[in-house]
A and B are shown apart, each in its own frame.
Chain A
Amino acid sequence: MAQTTIYIDDKPHDVDAERNLLDVCLSLRLNLPYFCWHPAMGSVGACRQCAVKLLLSDNDTKGRLVMACMTPVVKGMRISVEDPDARKFRAGVIQGLMENHPHDCPVCDEGGECHLQDMTVMTGHDYRAYRFPKRTFRNQYLGPFLNHEMNRCIQCYRCVRFYREYAGGDDFNVFKLRDIAYFGRKEDGVLENEFAGNLVEVCPTGVFTDATLKHHYTRKWDMTMAPSVCVHCGLGCNTTVAERYGTVRRIVNRYNGAVNGYFLCDRGRYGYEFVNSAHRIRTPRVRLNGAVQQPSKAQALQHLGSLLTNGRKVIGIGSPRASLEANFALRTLVGAGNFYAGMSDGESRLVSLMLEILRSSPARTPSMRETESCDAVLILGEEVTDTAPRLALSLRQSARQQPMQDAKKLRIPLWQDHSVRELLQDRHGPFFIASVSATRLDDIATQVYRAAPADIARLGFAIAHEIDPSVRGVDHLSPRLRPLAQEIARALTNAKGPLVVSGAGCASESVIQAAANVACALCHAGKKTGLTFTMPEANSAGLALLGGANLSSAFQAAKTGGVETAIVLENDLFRRAGREDVDIFLKSIAHVVAIDSLENETASRAELVLPAGTFAESCGTLINNEGRAQRFFRNVPPETEILESWEWLAEAMSAKDEKSWRNLDDVILAMTQAIPLLAPVANAAPLSSFRIAGDKVPREPHRYSGRTSILANINVSEPKPPEDPDSPLSFTMEGAPVEPPSALIPFFWTPGWNSIQSVNKFQAEIAGDLVGGNPGVRLIEPASGAAVNYFANIPAGFERRPGEWLLVPLHHIFGSEELSNSAPAVTELAPKPYLALSEADASQIGAGPGDDVEAKLGGSALRLKLRIVPALPSGVAGIPVGLLGQPMLTLPAWAGISKLK
């Protein structure tokens, strides 16, 4: 980073010479208003809000106005932010923007956290001179996620730039011109892009607001907020969760310079509603001899205690969606030997393999931020948008890396967004996708290869061989594939920072091994190589690091006898193994204890059900796919009957008279001692004893209103705020007015900057790291001088079988993930169960779209609607995973498929 000195209002400042003036002014914490500029999307010079005076010499008093966002830093330059002309101009821009604005702040969801409000106040414009009619628009229905109120629009173009240019969406645009530019769809309808929800934050005012928040609306200042980590996939995006009156109101993005940056996916933003679901387990429940009772918490614990102290064998089944601490507590309670990880066998195998590779490979998993600067990408077997959605948004930026070098050559600054896009047009860097079915990144792919998992793996092995001939080559490689493998090998080898992406998506170990080989071969060729594996769930990686045998071992243990009690932690076994196996298991165990937050079939079959806190009621640590441990904090004060999972287990330990834990710190400490590999987890965030000037960090904003009157109808005395022994955050508004450590930032808000744009003030440099570093610690880094180890088990090529199809899993961003399936807005967009075939294969069985078909596998038969998916290879059938009402299948599997009459 080249530093240079410039003068702002006569004061010298050392600034980054590669940036623009708006960026450096904001980095210097100066209050310079803006709209169209976005730190992740760069400058386009539309709104003209950030005008400053450029003085041409020391003696120049006249100068000229320039737009700070469009003006590169030049050594020694003099500018004035406070210049009267500049101030007059900036107030003029607000006057212009407000001419059509409805001034409906009191009834606008954005009110109180509106960038337009903030900027209006900042410029000082306060008198309306425009006495003519305002333009009005008709709003559109845009789906369950977003509310549309076009009259509030100030035409900053951020929405359309984000949606089309940054996120690659196609069904949203700007129509008309002059002061009647209209931002929306061609016609009413659900926005198709998986990142549309970001418009809530991208829009500087209330045109796009969170439609789920509208169902239970609360002002930002009345929300209790806490830093959290998304639980809906394995990427660990940072979120801010907001609560009032015991319900979660919304999720907004919590900037993490390394992980999610400024954006979330829509599953992550809208999945939260499961917390408020009617299907929540809110009280303990005992089922004895067919009768259901609702015991008190103490009675429930007593019941649990009796099961633990009867001297019989107790096993624990953990969960990849539960925190490290919850899993560790269970492991401690039942003993490591009786702890089972709770992943399906297939998943367990895949996750262990991926972790083993990551821990031994010379390739490193880049953070999502680093992913954006990888300049050649190979995706093997993964529908990234559906399995690890936010990563797809980063990969979309990676595809621009190589062509962007042309902009550098022409000395076009990369923040000059439209100039770069005009130069690049639709050119993309090397981006190869080998997948079973179509993916949402195909539009930027250099080449796509559709094949069965075995053939995808073979392509990977062949690429690795092309890069490093010492890797075993693929026998009988089809002549069509060889040139493709060569092309990909060449592109990856010629790149500065190639990236290989794979994961558990197509349930194939070979595909993962092939990806590892490619990455390894690139490392061997001296390339700084990225290797990203998506993980199936929020804590798959953490659970795998914690250890524990797979589910069939648990079933086996039950079969061989002696197990009387099984404690199932945040896990619906019916999603992990075949119905029959789970049935047998549950029947063979005398006492099943389920600790969970949502009703599910396992819980309904358990003798004792203990209501567990969700992420919103719990604190803990999750490890994401790059091996980053991140702490999340509760934002809902604990209800009397709901405990965090680990707390139930700790209480049970007390019941067993074992030494127990006082708070989360104790669990973390015990865990890091028991499992040295997890030692860094303690540093993922400050422990509960952390204080600023003697105070905890307040979850309630400084303007939290009505605190003393909320419960006045019950008691006029203000109740004592709930205690939170597990975290250094308090359920109050009192606290030192300083920025907390980055992992504890409960909300982004600074004086004068009420909206989430205030994140600028928390960053060490704009769009860079948060002050003091980004939250989280990485547990997995490539060992220096790691040995190059290649997998050599190359599968045979896929051969289609007459009358049978290979069933492969298809993932859906909305519908495949368990928890968000209880969030109404998400389920609205989830598909119904189906079976997918290519058109040609469908015609073989004489079936068309919508027909009922039957798939026979392993002695059972599934009846499903047929969906035509043209991209599917011949001989392969797709079946969505995880949908509500869809039985768990062990995939891939061969099945006979026929049309039902």
Chain B
Amino acid sequence: MSMETPLTKNIRSDGEAPDLKAYQAAGGYESAQKALRMAPAEIMEMVKQSNLRGRGGAGFPTSMKWSFVPMGNDAPHPKYLVCNADEMEPGTFKDRLLMEADPHQLIEGMIVAAQAIEADIAYIFLRGEYTLSAQRLEKAVYEAYASHFLGKNIFGSGRNLEMYLHLSAGRYMCGEETGLLNALEGKRANPRTKPPYPQVSGLWGKPTIVQNVETLCNLPHIVANGAEWFKGLSRTKNGGTKLYGASGKVKRPGLWELPMGTTIREILEEHAGGMRDGVKFRGLLPGGASTDFLTEEHLDVRMDFDEVQKVGSRLGTGTMIILDDKTCPVGMCWNLEHFFAQESCGWCTPCWSGLRFAARVLRAMEEGQGQPGDIEQLEFQSWFCAPGNTYCALAPGAVEPLQSAVKLFRADFERHIREKRCPWRS
């Protein structure tokens, strides 16, 4: 079966990124020029027809996100387009590949998005540790400016688009849409209340769209090939391809561009090569660290936004973390909750207190100091951090692996308390 892999087609085997010339030779920047000849509403309609949904984790329809941006002559300016390249979700490394391997694709996607919302200024908010991405993006932005693809009167269209690469000073919280905006403004990366949404009052109080790298990278291909083509790439209703990843004790951990809706089993067995010899599959987090565990019975679930949700988890970033039978689920939860507790911005009580409480309990269990009532405490803290109870999505996401692990692997939690030790530790 021949598969189209628009996002990764330019990736070179020598590890270098195509420069502007090479990117253009492969048809690059034609979509940008085409988009600049289109009315914003046309682009929006095309993207709407394509069923493109946000690849940052929440899966929000891209065209709908755009539709809340005030348009027309009365709209406030400058409007901002922000690329969320602060990829910090544990187990997630898909955006990194796109930025390192084909930086111009992202820039072109941003030009298309900027045209769709009539943005004047664009930022790439990049995770600070992604130094290779930073180098390559910086070079690519420079090349694009030099060729007048960015700046004033881009492609002779009369439109202006300034683009800046901003390296994050760190913290997971900066990846949250509104925390990112605060960080970009030079403030603490505390999240903001919604509403008002960034589309109305975002960066510096102006209309702003924040979008994930992978989402933006899809745009040139939709503009080039049309909505129907894009929908056709997918095996389900969500359009396009998806970068799927697998980490854990599989034979070939990695990242693959596959049709949206590829089953977990196919990714796990065909692409990741199945479990390593001597270990057995116990479960997986389908879309990065802040999604609920799925188990054996879910292996034939199609990895798209709707299908994964139906079985009680989320597609998230589409990069799965696999739990095997030689790894302690309590220990895994401790690792994750410790991370999330460390990364809480400290704004709302459930997050800064609840996650820490949960992490401390998990650590106690791992260290043989679990007590009766601890499981109930973990359940309470998971409920305490549920969506709506917290200020942003960090804590609700953070407790997704925990709440599902307590349900699915309850016996293991109980054993920790009963035996006063971690059965996986010798």
Contacts and interface: CB of A to CB of B under 8 A. Distances in A.
A and B form one complex? yes
Interface of A: 44-49, 51, 64-66, 70, 89, 92-93, 95-97, 99, 129-132, 155, 157, 174, 176-181, 410, 412, 416, 418-419, 422-425, 427
B188 to A, nearest CB: 7
Contact of A96 (B193, B341, B357, B391): B357
Contact of A177 (B200, B344, B377): B344
A477 to B, nearest CB: 37
A122 to B, nearest CB: 16
A66 B390 CA distance: 10
Given A51-B389, A178-B345, A424 B205 contact: yes
Contacts of B349: 46-49, 93, 96-97, 155
Nearest to A92: B384
A45 B346 contact: no
Nearest to A180: B346
Nearest to A417: B193
Contacts of A49: 349
Contacts of B389: 48, 51, 65, 89
A682 B195 CA distance: 51
A45 B380 contact: no
Contact of B350 (A44, A93, A131, A410): A93
B384 A181 contact: no
B348 A48 contact: yes
A177 B187 CA distance: 13
Interface string B143-178: 000000000000000000000000000010100000
B193 A178 contact: no
Given A45-B391, A48-B390, A174 B188 contact: yes
Interface in B345-383: 345-350, 352-354, 356-357, 360, 364, 371, 373, 377, 380
B353 A97 contact: yes
A399 to B, nearest CB: 16
B192 A422 contact: yes
A373 B408 CA distance: 57
B201 interface: yes
A419 B360 CA distance: 34
B79 to A, nearest CB: 14
Contacts of B195: 412, 419
Contacts of A423: 196, 201, 205
A422 B205 contact: yes
Given A96-B353, A99-B353, A131-B371, 11 more contacts: A48-B390, A97-B353, A155-B352, A157-B347, A176-B346, A178-B343, A178-B345, A178-B356, A419-B201, A423-B196, A425-B204
Given A96-B354, A99-B357, A422-B205, A412 B196 contact: yes
Contacts of A174: 188, 346
B342 interface: yes
Contacts, number: 109
B72 interface: no
The 10 closest A-B pairs by CB, nearest first: A96-B353, A181-B346, A423-B205, A178-B344, A177-B346, A423-B201, A132-B360, A179-B352, A96-B349, A178-B346
A180 B344 CA distance: 10
Interface of B: 171, 173, 185, 188, 192-193, 195-196, 200-201, 204-205, 341-350, 352-354, 356-357, 360, 364, 371, 373, 377, 380, 384, 388-391
A127 to B, nearest CB: 11
Contacts of A155: 346, 349, 352
Nearest to A182: B346
Contacts of A422: 192, 196, 201, 205
Contact of A178 (B185, B342, B371): B342
A157 B190 CA distance: 12
13 contacts: A46-B349, A48-B350, A65-B388, A96-B352, A99-B353, A132-B364, A155-B346, A176-B346, A177-B188, A178-B343, A179-B352, A418-B193, A422-B192
Contacts of A93: 349-350
A427 B76 CA distance: 15
B192 A179 contact: no
Contacts of A65: 388-389
Nearest to B359: A132
A177 B389 CA distance: 19
A843 to B, nearest CB: 37
B353 A66 contact: no
Give the one of A92, A99, A176 with max B CB within 10 A.
A92
A555 B354 CA distance: 74
Given A419-B192, A419-B201, A48 B391 contact: yes
A46 B348 contact: yes
Contacts of B201: 410, 412, 419, 422-423
A179 B346 contact: yes
Contacts of B205: 422-425, 427
Give the one of A70, A129, A157, A174 with max B CB within 10 A.
A129
A51 B383 CA distance: 14
Contacts of B200: 410
Nearest to A179: B352
Contacts of A157: 347
A129 B377 contact: yes
Contacts of A177: 171, 173, 188, 344-346, 352
A130 to B, nearest CB: 6
A92 B380 contact: yes
A47 B390 CA distance: 9
A98 to B, nearest CB: 9
Contacts of B343: 178
A419 B196 contact: yes
Contacts of A47: 348-349
B347 A96 contact: no
B304 to A, nearest CB: 27
A719 B75 CA distance: 75
Contacts of B388: 64-66
A179 B353 contact: yes
Contacts of B348: 45-48
A59 to B, nearest CB: 20
Nearest to B355: A178
A178 B398 CA distance: 14
Nearest to B194: A419
B383 to A, nearest CB: 8
Contacts of B173: 177
B112 to A, nearest CB: 27
Nearest to B381: A92
A176 B192 CA distance: 18
Contacts of A412: 195-196, 201
Give the one of A44, A176, A422 with max B CB within 10 A.
A422
A93 B348 CA distance: 10
B265 to A, nearest CB: 36
Nearest to A175: B188
A66 to B, nearest CB: 7
Nearest to B205: A423
A51 B205 CA distance: 28
Nearest to B201: A423
Nearest to B345: A177
Nearest to B351: A178
Contacts of A419: 192-193, 195-196, 201
A93 B380 CA distance: 12
Contacts of A44: 193
Nearest to B390: A48
Contacts of A418: 192-193
Contacts of A180: 346
Contacts of A179: 341, 344, 346, 352-353, 356
A303 B347 CA distance: 68
A412 B380 CA distance: 34
A33 to B, nearest CB: 12
A174 B190 CA distance: 12
A176 B342 CA distance: 11
A39 to B, nearest CB: 18
B356 A129 contact: no
A736 B289 CA distance: 61
